[in-house]
Amino acid sequence: MKERALVIAITRGAEQEALRNVLISTLRVTLPIPDRKPALGDNVLPPGRSDNGTGQQQTGSKPQSELPSRQSAFGRLGRRLSKPLPERWRGVLFASPALETEKVEGVTWRKHWIVLVWQAWIPFLAVLGLLIVFPFLGKMGDALGSDGMALALPWLVAFVAMAIWLWWEFEDYYNDLYIVTNEKIIDIERKPLGLDYKRREGNLERVQSVDSRRQGFLPALLNYGTVVIRTAAADEGYDFVNVPNPKHVQQVVFQKMDTLRQRKAAQDAAGRQQSVVDTLQVYDELRLSDSQLKMRTW
């Protein structure tokens, strides 16, 4: 309660100082501006600062940096190899929502890497096994009593199929995004080749609860889980499934919500101050007009 009272007093003092500066600049008041003093005295420090007994103020921890958007190695390699194709084909084959997040100012998460391992371990081992077997195709053909080149075509078909399967799992993993901007929550789910695309957005100020869940031995060991976000709307909310460090994701959402509330409060305060300034300006014009009219009458 003491910290809350301190924050309210500092906020009111800042609003009064801003209103004073606006009035002086707008009404052209030629009065000396006194030195600014803290609302609760010189010995009171703003919240989030401490001197640690050294007499020097130290700010709190730095805000968490935004996560950059990433693209899979298979996606980058595919885009390089697909340059001879028409632009429309390249857009269908390798379009990724990660490109959209570069235009969105917010924090982006993907699912934990264990999800990618769980999805892609079968085609990965198949591709690795085929690569290991390739130098021994000749010996395998001799053992089977046939030409080694006869096994090259089945090997190539199997390798291409497993490589496509592996590419599909990588692209499917990297195309699922969870984004929290300064005002919105965005959930993107997209299948490769543009076969399925789902994008859900919601207003951050309508969020009512944010819960982080981490159940099981493996999630506790690797620190991943689900963040459940419920809003005031009549929808199912947003579930950030299998994201790394769910507690940190929860804290980021709360920070974004607090920042949005502060920004809205600052906009409302600026609107009230402008209304007061307009009222005083009209009053000042009426007072000057009345004074001029009295002088002419006299």
Q: Which residue has the tokens 């371990």?
A: 121
**124, 178 Cβ separation under 8 angstroms:** no
Which pLDDT does position 15 carry in this prediction? Answer: 72
d(C-alpha 45, C-alpha 107), whole Å: 31
List per-block mean pLDDT (blocks of 10 residues) for the chain, which spans 298 residues: 82 73 65 55 53 44 40 55 60 48 70 91 92 79 66 85 92 90 89 84 87 90 91 80 92 90 86 79 70 68
Amino acid symbol at 294? K
Q: Which amino acid is at 282?
A: V
- The residues, any chain, with a CB within 8 Å of residue 18's CB and separated by 6 or more, are 269, 273
Q: Are 186 and 144 in contact (CB under 8 A)?
A: no
What is the rounded CA–CA span in Å between residue 52 and residue 292? 60
Query: What is the rounded CA–CA span in Å between residue 176 and residue 111?
Result: 8
What the block records as the tokens of 165 is 């399967």
Written as six digits, the tokens of 246 are: 């769910």
| DSSP output for 68-97 | PP---HHHHHHHHHTTTS-HHHHHHHH--T
d(CA 151, CA 144): 10
What residues does each domain of the chain span?
1-48, 74-253
pLDDT at 118: 92
pLDDT value of residue 63: 40
Q: What is the pLDDT of residue 192?
A: 84
Spell 159-168 as b/e; 16+ CB within 10 A means b.
beebeebbbb
Q: Are 21 and 31 in contact (CB under 8 A)?
A: no
Q: How many CA atoms lie within 13 A of 162 on its CB side?
A: 17
pLDDT at 66: 41
Q: φ, ψ for residue 239 (rounded to 5)?
A: -120, 115
